[in-house]
Amino acid sequence: MSDKTIKLKIKRQDNPRSKPYWQEFEIPYQPLSNVISCLQDIQKSPSAANKVTVNPVVWDCSCLEEVCGSCTMIINGRVRQACTALVDQIESPIVLEPMSKFPVVRDLLVDRNRMFRALKKVKAWVDIDGSQDLGEGPIMADSVRATRYTLSECMTCGCCLEACPQYTKDNAFLGAAAFSQVRLFNLHPTGDMHADERLDEVMGKGGIADCGNAQACVEACPKNIPLTDSIADISRQTSLKLLKDLLLK
Amino acid sequence: MAQRRKKIIIIGGGLAGLSAAMKICESNAEVILIAYQSLKRSHSVCAQGGINAAIDSRGEGDSPDNHFYDTIKGGDFLAEQPLVRDMCYKAPSIIHLMDRMGVAFNRTNEGHLAFRRFGGTLYSRTAFAGATTGQQLVYSLDEQIRKYEHDGMVQKMEWHEYLGAVLDSKGICRGAIIHNLRTNEIFTLAGDAVILATGGPSQVYAGSTASTVNTGAAATMAYLQGAKYANGEFIQIHPTAIPGRDKLRLMSESARGEGGRIWVPKRADDNRDPLDIPEMERYYFLEEKYPLFGNLVPRDVASREIYDVVYNQNLGIGGQAMVYLDLTHKSKEFLQDRLGGILDIYKKFTGDDPKVTPMKIFPAVHYSMGGLWTDYETDSEGMIESKSPRNQMTSIQGLYAAGEADCHYHGANRLGANSLLSCIYTGLMMGPGVLSYAENIAKSADDVPSSIFEDAKSYWTGRFKTINKMHGSENPYKLHRDLGDMMMANVLIVRDNKTLEKAYNSISDFETRFKDVNCVDSNDWANPTPSFINQLYCMIQLSKIITKGALMRDEFRGAHFKPEFDLNQPKDFDPHEYIHYQEQQNFGEVSDDAFPKSHLDYMKRFEANNKKWLKTSIAQFEGNQPNITYADVNTSLMIPRPRKYD
């Protein structure tokens, strides 16, 4: 065994109202480690680098294979999932912070409810007649399916919003994830029947017009979702709708 | 006065819980959905390869009856046949429903659903949405529930944990005890029925493909409250997972469905780069031993063969516990299109590109075929009575189970792409029955004394106070790891009674250590540790069910492999012989020369073994131990026969 260790510097916060503080940790190096396994090691032996016993670090995780979207945090200054942050591929000491655009619940755990509320607002669903057997779904070209699939891989992880300069804790901006979902559902033959209702929701305050076109979202997306294409597409759809509404008034 | 709407409490936001919620909302009942985390995060998202339905879009002659046969055979005849038949018959309409909801299923040139092959069948029966089918199915159901939430039909309570059922003096479930994971408040909810769609228990093992939340604690709590837990010893080991420290990530069966080949170098000391090893010097052991099914033998078979190659033949790559899963003979474009998502995951976690170099994989704990025992009712034709309140009800009245938390659909081994199906099927199927139960109970939760709720609340408040005050020397997370390591070492692919007995006895050491646990987190806000300690207690109890079930079952069936009790099927045996043998028996005597002697002897052994062991094991909590009894399996639709895949 080598004496190699992994050093971590973690921004902690005991509850939503208390002040954040930094703590340093040092754990034995093991091959195949990722940020999650480091946090698990701290749980098993919760003491800071100065040997003082502390409460284990609290964070959010579930699948550990980058499909659930839970474990988003800021790692060495960059927002990403902790599960795919392999110790061998990142710089030491590893600096962990909670996302800054969402209220901290505790330590690295944040409350991303605003993202789910946005999905509700933009009516991100296909309106079906019910779960009774109504036969096959609509015929669809595989190319359309492929575009939809890419958009549908969004795991509501929040990376795009953390990176977005327009998205702040105290404004109403819906953000790239929600706009991209509007595109996803408007691309579906049945979803398209209610396309206007979704567009209405992104044409008001905090809607698509507030996007500053910084293009940081697409850089941050761990699933390589073409978010800027989605924003451009939804801008087009809303402009057309605006024109249509004006002419038909 | 208008009657109040029926109130159904659903625990769990995966496929089973969401399907049940959707079905129940449609009947205008009130749904409270309790989830340990945000809804889109449930473990169902991890399912990769697809979902089975015999739609026969390729004209191969597939049918729901074939699907039924493959599922029953794959499960080594331990699954409950009327339920599995109904599931397979309903599968095509389930896929069409999910398609209507907008799941991005891959499509054909003509724009219809595309299907691919999976293990344990010769038909292309698996619909898929890229390489993240489970995720896509969860999202589409989550979206429907969001619509109902928007319409005020569903009340979601995320970041809440189920601690147990509120039982009245007659043992009827009248609600649930809930723990707010932020405020740590403990409270009760009254309801007309409670559904546990709480997933599997793979966290009992240290090396699994499970999400961190899959502790099996909710189902175990039902068992501790008196519910029957069935077939706990049947744990599926998935043949292909990626080695890792925090978890073993799944490499989907679809990699083999799309042509992936499993091999090792023929020489143990062959340390060449895999691409430099010529075809003649590779040992494609599954293809050689099972020419018919090849790399797509069922999971129990594949895992056992990999284990045998690594540990008995010492042919693991570089002497390590790994074999190659090779896709490099396929074009990069094909692989990106069909398997892009999972191959990217492999690359992200190992740094190697599977399109260029063969993957290194090894089996990992993946799924529990067993779970809470549930009831059902058939009509005069033997079909499932769709509105029966008995459907999916556990042995506690008013408490239901669905999805991986139940036990009847996969027998002794689950076929790939049947889990997403059984989760959605059970969720949808139970809806009408749960409502008819709620409508017909003589007394509702409103009519029972409020003291049962107060008592439940005060018991759990006290229990968590005690946990918070535990200041022993055992770290609960370390103890969990040790328990998981013990289960990996002793209750895995190859089982023997001596080891199992030792393992079972060692669990009492874990119980002793548990009493000395230290509640390592003192914060009174959003503190996961007390809740984890309670889950750990459940996992210790669960490990007893699994280990004792395995110890007592003296046979080799599906995922439960005890070499000592292998019936040694003759190499040239044909399972049809057994059907003839049964027919001859029904008509009187079997003549001595009708079958080769070794075959006849084998069939007699097989018959005697089934008589004794073709039973559902039922664990009940008595005196801090599982008391295990055996119940008949309904095999009225298909004669149990020897399995064969070569």
- Tokens standing for residue B413: 């081994």
Q: Measured between CB atoms, which of A64, A69, A152 is closest to B247?
A: A64
Domain final position from A83, A110, A137:
A110
Q: Which residues of B touch A62 (CB under 8 A)?
A: 37, 41-43, 211-213
Q: What is the mean pLDDT of residues B604-618?
A: 97
Domain final position from A86, A110, A134:
A110
Q: What is the mean pLDDT of residues B601-610?
A: 97
Q: Measured between CB atoms, which of B99, B144, B211 is closest to A68?
A: B211
**Is the CB of residue A90 less than 8 Å from the CB of residue A97?**
no
The angle at the Cα of B363, spanning B357 to B369, to the nearest 5 degrees, equals 140
Q: Measured between CB atoms, which of B130, B250, B523 is closest to A149?
A: B130
Domain with A69 in it: 5-110
- Give dist(CA B209, CA B613) in Å, integer: 29
Type of residue numbered A114: R
Say which DSSP state B356 is in.
T
- Helices A113-121 & B133-150, crossing angle to 10 degrees? 70
Backbone angles phi, psi at A241, to 5 degrees: -65, -40
Q: Do A198 and A231 fall within a single domain?
A: yes
For chain B positions 233-252, those within 8 Å of chain A (CB to CB) are 243-247, 249-250
Query: Residues of chain B with pLDDT > 70: what percent?
Result: 100
For chain B positions 404-463, those within 8 Å of chain A (CB to CB) are 428
- Give dist(CA B646, CA B288) in Å, integer: 9
User: What ipTM was estimated for this complex?
Assistant: 0.97
Question: How many structural domains comprise chain A?
Answer: 2
Contact residues for A241 (Cβ-Cβ < 8 A; gap 6+): A196, A199, A203
- At residue A2, the pLDDT reads 60
Q: Do A190 and A178 fall within a single domain?
A: yes
Contact residues for B339 (Cβ-Cβ < 8 A; gap 6+): B131, B252, B254, B255, B258, B327
Q: State whether residue B529 sits within 8 Å of chain A by CB.
A: yes
Task: Work out the burial of residue B523: count CB atoms within 10 Å of its CB; fewer than 13 is exposed, 13-18 middle, 19 or more buried.
Answer: middle
- Give dist(CA A205, CA A77) in Å, integer: 30
User: Residue B561 falls within a domain, yes or no?
Assistant: no
CA-based nearest distance B216→chain A, Å: 14
* pLDDT tens sequence across B279-293: 999 999 999 999 999
Q: What is the mean pLDDT of residues B4-9?
A: 92
Q: Do A243 and A151 fall within a single domain?
A: yes
* pLDDT tens sequence across B353-396: 999 999 999 999 999 999 999 999 999 999 999 999 999 999 99
**Is the CB of residue B225 less than 8 Å from the CB of residue B622?**
no
pLDDT above 50 (res B459): yes
In 3D, which of B9, B13, B20, B11 has the Cα closest to residue B424? B20
Q: Do A106 and A120 fall within a single domain?
A: no
Confidence of residue A1 (pLDDT cuts 50, 70, 90): very low
- Give dist(CA B226, CA B221) in Å, integer: 9
- Give dist(CA A240, CA A237) in Å, integer: 5
Backbone angles phi, psi at B17, to 5 degrees: -65, -40
User: Residue B281 falls within a domain, yes or no?
Assistant: yes
**Is the CB of residue A104 less than 8 Å from the CB of residue A16?**
yes
Q: Do A37 and A97 fall within a single domain?
A: yes
* pLDDT tens sequence across B340-350: 888 988 999 98
Q: Which residues of B touch A14 (CB under 8 A)?
A: 523, 525
User: Residue B35 falls within a domain, yes or no?
Assistant: no
Q: Do A41 and A119 fall within a single domain?
A: no
List, in sequence order, every beta strand (DSSP E) within B462-510: none
CA-based nearest distance B135→chain A, Å: 7
Set B116, B299, B304, B641: catalytic member: B299
- At residue B496, the pLDDT reads 97
- Give dist(CA B343, CA A234) in Å, integer: 31
Contact A68 B97 (CB under 8 A): no
Q: Which residues of B touch A135 (CB under 8 A)?
A: 96
pLDDT above 50 (res B1): no
pLDDT above 90 (res B515): yes
Q: Which residue of A has its CA nearest to B532?
A: A43
CA-based nearest distance A163→chain B, Å: 22
Catalytic, B299? Answer: yes
Type of residue numbered B100: R
pLDDT above 90 (res B442): no
Q: State whether residue B112 sits within 8 Å of chain A by CB.
A: yes
Taking the CA atoms of chain A, what radius of gyration do you get in angstroms? 21
Q: Which residue of B has its CA nearest to A124?
A: B143
- Give dist(CA B455, CA B448) in Å, integer: 13
Q: What is the mean pLDDT of residues A169-176?
A: 97
Q: State whether residue B153 sits within 8 Å of chain A by CB.
A: no
Q: What is the mean pLDDT of residues A231-246?
A: 96
In 3D, which of B43, B21, B38 has the Cα closest to residue B144? B21
Domain final position from A92, A110, A128:
A110
- At residue B443, the pLDDT reads 86
Mutate which: B40, B94, B138, vs A, most A CBs within 10 A: B40
User: Residue B612 falls within a domain, yes or no?
Assistant: no
CATH code at position B334:
3.90.700.10
Contact B213 A62 (CB under 8 A): yes
- Give dist(CA A98, CA A104) in Å, integer: 7
Q: Do A179 and A235 fall within a single domain?
A: yes
- Give dist(CA A94, CA B586) in Å, integer: 72
**DSSP class per residue in B214-250:** ---HHHHHHHHTT--EE-TT-EEEEEEEE--SS--EE
Pairing of strands A104-106, A109-110: antiparallel
**Is the CB of residue B523 less than 8 Å from the CB of residue A106?**
yes
User: Residue B329 falls within a domain, yes or no?
Assistant: yes
Q: What is the mean pLDDT of residues B300-309?
A: 95
For chain B positions 334-363, those within 8 Å of chain A (CB to CB) are 341, 345, 348-349, 351
Task: Work out the burial of residue B109: count CB atoms within 10 Å of its CB; fewer than 13 is exposed, 13-18 middle, 19 or more buried.
Answer: exposed
In 3D, which of B337, B315, B339, B341 has the Cα closest to residue B326? B339
- Work out the mean pLDDT of chain B and round it to a whole number: 96
Q: Do A203 and A171 fall within a single domain?
A: yes
- Give dist(CA B211, CA B201) in Å, integer: 10
Pairing of strands B249-250, B235-242: antiparallel
CA-based nearest distance B245→chain A, Å: 6
Q: Do A123 and A98 fall within a single domain?
A: no
Domain with B262 in it: 238-365
* Residue A10 region by backbone torsions, left for phi larger than 0, else alpha for psi between -120 and 50, else beta: beta
* pLDDT tens sequence across A127-160: 999 999 999 999 999 999 999 999 999 999 999 9
- At residue A137, the pLDDT reads 96
pLDDT above 50 (res B107): yes
Contact B250 A65 (CB under 8 A): yes
**Is the CB of residue B154 less than 8 Å from the CB of residue B145?**
yes
Question: How many structural domains comprise chain B?
Answer: 1
Type of residue numbered B608: A
Type of residue numbered B486: M
Q: Do A91 and A15 fall within a single domain?
A: yes
Contact B107 A140 (CB under 8 A): yes
Q: Do A241 and A139 fall within a single domain?
A: yes
**Is the CB of residue B481 less than 8 Å from the CB of residue A44?**
yes
Q: Do A56 and A141 fall within a single domain?
A: no
Contact B135 A40 (CB under 8 A): no
In 3D, which of B270, B256, B267 has the Cα closest to residue B329? B256
Q: Which residues of A touch B105 (CB under 8 A)?
A: 145
Confidence of residue B2 (pLDDT cuts 50, 70, 90): low
User: Residue B141 falls within a domain, yes or no?
Assistant: no
- At residue B445, the pLDDT reads 85
Confidence of residue B444 (pLDDT cuts 50, 70, 90): confident
User: Residue B306 falls within a domain, yes or no?
Assistant: yes
> What are the angstrom distances between the C-alpha of A202 and each of A28, A182, A196?
50, 9, 10
- Give dist(CA B373, CA B409) in Å, integer: 11
pTM greater than 0.90 (yes/no)? yes
CATH code at position A198:
1.10.1060.10
**DSSP class per residue in B402-448:** -GGGB-SSSTTSPPTT-HHHHHHHHHHHHHHHHHHHHHH-SS-GGGS
* pLDDT tens sequence across A95-129: 999 999 999 999 999 999 999 999 999 999 999 99
- Give dist(CA B67, CA B84) in Å, integer: 9
CATH code at position A52:
3.10.20.30
**DSSP class per residue in chain A:** ----EEEEEEEE-SSTTSPPEEEEEEEE--TT-BHHHHHHHHHHS-B-TTS-B-PPPP---SSSSSSS-TTEEEETTEEEESTT-BGGGS-SSEEEE--SSS-EEETTEE--HHHHHHHHHTT-S---S-SS---------HHHHHHHHHHHT-----HHHHH-SS--TTS----HHHHHHHHHHHTSTTGGGGHHHHHHHHSSTTSGGG-----HHHHH-TT---HHHHHHHHHHHHHHHHHHHHHH-
